[in-house]
Amino acid sequence: MLTQAKKEFIEFMMGADVLRFGEFVTKSGRNTPYFVNTGNYRTGLQSSRLGEFYAALVKETVGDGFDAMFGPAYKGIPLVTTAAGALARSYGIDKPFFFNRKEAKDHGEGGSIVGYKPKDGDRVIIIEDVITAGTAVRETMPVLSACADVKVTDMFISVNRCEFGQNPEKTAVMEVEEEFGIRVHALVTVRDIYEYLQSRADYAHLLPLMEDYMKRYCI
C-alpha cells in the first residue's frame, strides 16, 4: 500500500535524481527500466532528510534494541552516518556506527574497519541502499564476521526490488532472511514505486516497461 510516507520518500528520491528511469544494468547483470543510485545524494539537506527517513524506520521496527550500526563501503558509509545522527537527534537513540574500507589500511592503526570496534555478542544492524540479488549482502557478512562474533539482526534499505535471488522461487530478501537470519526492512518496494507511477499521467509510458520487468524478475 502506498502510504503518504512512502510517497514522500519516492518523490524525495526522484527530486535528488537518486531514483531514475531509463535503461540500466544492475549489479546482478539484469537490464532494468529503473535504478536507485544513492551516490547521487550530494547536499547537506538531502543527507539530513535521508537520515530522517531511515531513522524513522529503525525507530518503528527495532527501536533501541541493537548495539551498533554498520554501513558497507562505499554507499553505506554516508547512509549509516546520517541515519545514526538522525536517530540521536530525533529519538534520543545514540548508537555507535562503523564502516569498512575496501582495502585494509597498512599504516597507522591499520585494519579495514573505521569507527566503532565491534565486540563479541554485539547486535548489529546494517544500513544499505538496495537489495537486488543479495550479492552485496554476501560480500558484507564475511567482513562483519572477521570483526567479532556479532549477531546481525536487521538490515535497512531504501528500496526492496522484490526480485528473485539465486533461487528463482524466492526473492533475494527471502534468501537473506533464511541464509543469515537477517530481517530486512525497506522504506519502499518496487510495487510502491509502480503504484506511484500509476498515479502520474506523465509517467504512463513507463508502466509497460515496469510491468515487463516485474513479470520477469519479481516475486
User: Interior CA angle at 132 toward 122 and 203, to 5°?
Assistant: 130
Q: Please give the pLDDT value at position 108.
A: 43
> What pLDDT was estimated at residue 135?
76
Q: Is 130 annotated among the ligand-binding residues?
A: yes
Is 135 annotated to bind a ligand? Reply is yes
Residue 138 is predicted with a pLDDT of 86
The length of the chain in residues reads 219
Residue 134 is labelled as binding a ligand = yes
For residues 127 and 147, give the distance between their C-alpha atoms in angstroms, rounded to a whole number.
Answer: 17
What's the predicted TM-score (pTM) here?
0.90
- Other Cβ atoms less than 10 A from the Cβ of 136: the count is 20
**Start-to-end C-alpha separation, the chain:** 16
> What domains lie within the chain, and their CATH numbers?
4-217 (3.40.50.2020)
The Cα–Cα gap between 207 and 198 comes to 7
Q: What is the 3-state secondary structure (H, E, C) of the chain?
A: CCCHHHHHHHHHHHHCCCEEEEEEECCCCCEEEEEECHHHCCCHHHHHHHHHHHHHHHHHHCCCCCCEEEECCCCHHHHHHHHHHHHHHHHCCCCCEEEEEEEEECCCCCEEEEECCCCCCCEEEEECCEECCCHHHHHHHHHHHHHCCCEEEEEEEEEECCEECCCCCCEHHHHHHHHHCCEEEEEEEHHHHHHHHHCCHHHHHHHHHHHHHHHHHEC
- Check the annotation: does 153 bind a ligand: no
Residuewise pLDDT in 10s, the chain (219 residues): 899 999 999 999 999 999 999 999 887 788 999 999 988 999 999 999 999 999 999 999 999 999 999 999 888 999 999 999 999 999 999 999 999 987 655 544 446 899 999 999 999 999 999 877 677 788 889 989 988 999 999 999 999 989 888 888 888 889 889 999 999 999 999 999 999 999 999 999 999 999 999 999 998
By annotation, the residues acting in catalysis are 105, 107
Is 154 annotated in a binding site? The answer is no
Check the annotation: does 129 bind a ligand.
yes
